Amino acid sequence: MIIVLRSGSGDAEVEAVCRRITEMGYAPHVIRGEFKTVVAAVGEERGRPDLRLLEAMETVESVMPVQQPFKLASREVRSEPSAVQVNGIAVGGPAVVVMAGPCSVESAPQMREVAEAVKEAGARILRGGAYKPRTSPYAFQGLKEQGLQYLAEARKRTGLPVVTEVLETESAELVARYADVLQVGARNVQNFSLLRRVGEMGKPVLLKRGMATSLQEFLLSAEYILATGNPSVILCERGIRTFETTTRFTLDLNAVPVLKKLSHLPVVVDPSHGTGHWDLVAPMAKAAVACGADGLIIEVHPRPEEALSDGPQSLKPARFAQLMRELGPVALAVGRSL
């Protein structure tokens, strides 16, 4: 940490800051500039008192971190990219893995229809929400366990592993009995109890970035899961909230190369939520693959205008199949397969 002192700080004040740094278990190094004095505090920071606390001292103008606060998620701990295995499918390996399916599980025939269509088109993992986080209490909240059963049936029929959201600690075990990958949604990215519980299930976790989560915070949320001893975390960029209103969110594709630089974890992109409109999904799916995403998660519904949630951003099966055909060459162009 670099501790910047207020202009005009005298020797006694510098001394006091250094003393406090020493008490906190770090070694202080003073550098006197023309206008400002700064103190560098040296030592491992994780699991030790937080030096940002020094900002509470009147002498201190600001405290600037040098180390990244996450560890298990970082390239320091593991310099090579890690792949997460999902029933023999490697997310983070040479192939770009496409996960597809409806926003909400609505019925057994709907799941069957979609599962077969997306499998036929080349998707490797089936998505579908049984527990739905909805902004309004008056909206459809998901079929819950029945939805999980429909997912399981669709898996049995198609062989596609299933990713579905865990909405609350209470149902984590139940969901884990049915699902192959446990999703933590954007609104729960800093629901720390949920992160821990989901991590403890021991299954791969798909962690979505929140709509106002910085990449550093995102990796700290991943760290919560990794700290349970579960190494299988897949990061998912799904759009952040900005001033722009023609799209539902602003898909932050910069995040893909940044996350891959800071972390060894695989990164997938959700162009459905990241745009909010079905006709923007295909171009942004291609962009995601082009900038290095390890996978995509895409909403597909046979009759989007009757979907119980997120219809406007869902692709019809024929459009999804066309997108899959178009994605192949893009993946090849960046040295991947589909």
- Name which of 160 and 225 has its Cβ closer to its own copies: 225
For its own copies, give the closer residue by CB, 41 or 111. Answer: 41
Which ranges of 24-107 does DSSP label H, i.e. alpha helix? none
Q: Do β-strands 89-91 and 267-269 pair in parallel, antiparallel, or remain unpaired?
A: unpaired
Instruction: Let me know: does 298 contact 315? Beta carbons within 8 Å.
Output: yes
Please state the closest distance from residue 204 (CB atom) to its own copies, in A. Answer: 19
Q: How far is CA 241 from CA 250, 252, 273, 317, in A?
A: 6, 10, 11, 28
The least distance separating its own copies from the CB of residue 125, rounded to whole angstroms, comes to: 22
- Based on CB atoms, which residue is closest to its own copies, 75 or 153? 75
- SS3 label, residue 254: coil
CB-CB neighbours of 140 under 10 Å? 13
The span from the CA of 209 to the CA of 214, in Å, is 8
Q: How many CB atoms lie within 10 A of CB 2?
A: 15
Nearer to its own copies, 153 or 174 (CB): 174
CB of 97 to its own copies, least distance (A): 18
Shortest Cβ 73–its own copies spacing (Å): 11
**Residue 2 or 152 having the CB closest to its own copies:** 2
Shortest distance (Å) from residue 156 CB to its own copies: 29
Distance (Å) of CA 147 to CA 141, 164, 175, 201: 11, 10, 10, 20
